[in-house]
Amino acid sequence: MARLMKRFVFGAGCTGLALASLAALLAAQTAPGNTIALLALNQPPCATLTPQSVIRAKLSYHLADAEQSAYGFAVSIKFQSTTPRMTFSDGVQGQAVVTARHDTLTLEYPVAAIRRNDRLQRPVTCYFYLHRNTGPGRSVVLAKTEAITFQECQ
């Protein structure tokens, strides 16, 4: 949504002040203190991902006290697309419903689910996200991990 609004604002020829105001408004929609952290990953840095590989990650998350949602919260894994600034996953695999304000959880995602997808950037790069669900099939990212890239080392 922010990207669409940003494109619209640039297309409308607004000033830098208007863009700064829009950025502040979008930032205000996310309460400070939302975090997600990768604690453990079952794939070593030089792992070659095969169709049989399953990415398994232990994550900790924290929702800010002010964070509210009628639709709940989730943690998910998303993969970098060949389209810049776009991530994706196929299906509902690799997504967990968040039931506590802070906790740890383990997420699993079979590489076979995305390996042959033409949108998948190579080398494979993924992120883990903490989301606020805003409606059926819609969410806002509250926090994300740094990029995790699976390099094929020699």
CATH of the domain at 91: 2.60.40
* Structural domain count, the chain: 2
Q: Tell me, what's the pLDDT at 115?
A: 87
The model's pLDDT over 106-153, given as tens digits with 9 standing for 90+, comes to 999 999 999 889 999 989 999 999 999 999 989 999 999 999 998 876
Q: Tell me, what's the pLDDT at 23?
A: 38
* 71 belongs to a structural domain: yes
14 and 86 inside one domain = no
Omega before residue 123 within 30° of 0, cis: yes
129 and 145 inside one domain = yes
* Among candidate residues 58, 78, 77, 79, the one with its CA nearest the CA of residue 124: 79
Residue 85 near residue 144 (C-beta atoms within 8 A) = no
% pLDDT > 70, the chain? 77
Structure tokens at 83: 């389209």
Residue 131 near residue 78 (C-beta atoms within 8 A) = no
61 and 84 inside one domain = yes
- Of the pLDDT bands very low, low, confident and very high (cuts 50, 70, 90), residue 30 is low
Q: Tell me, what's the pLDDT at 91?
A: 78
Whether 43 shows a pLDDT value over 90: the answer reads: no
How far apart, in whole angstroms, are the C-alpha atoms of residue 61 and residue 31? 14
* 154 belongs to a structural domain: no
Residue range(s) defining the domain that contains residue 24: 1-30
Exposure string for 80-107, b = 16+ CB within 10 A, e = fewer: bbeeeeebebeeeebbbebeeeeeebeb
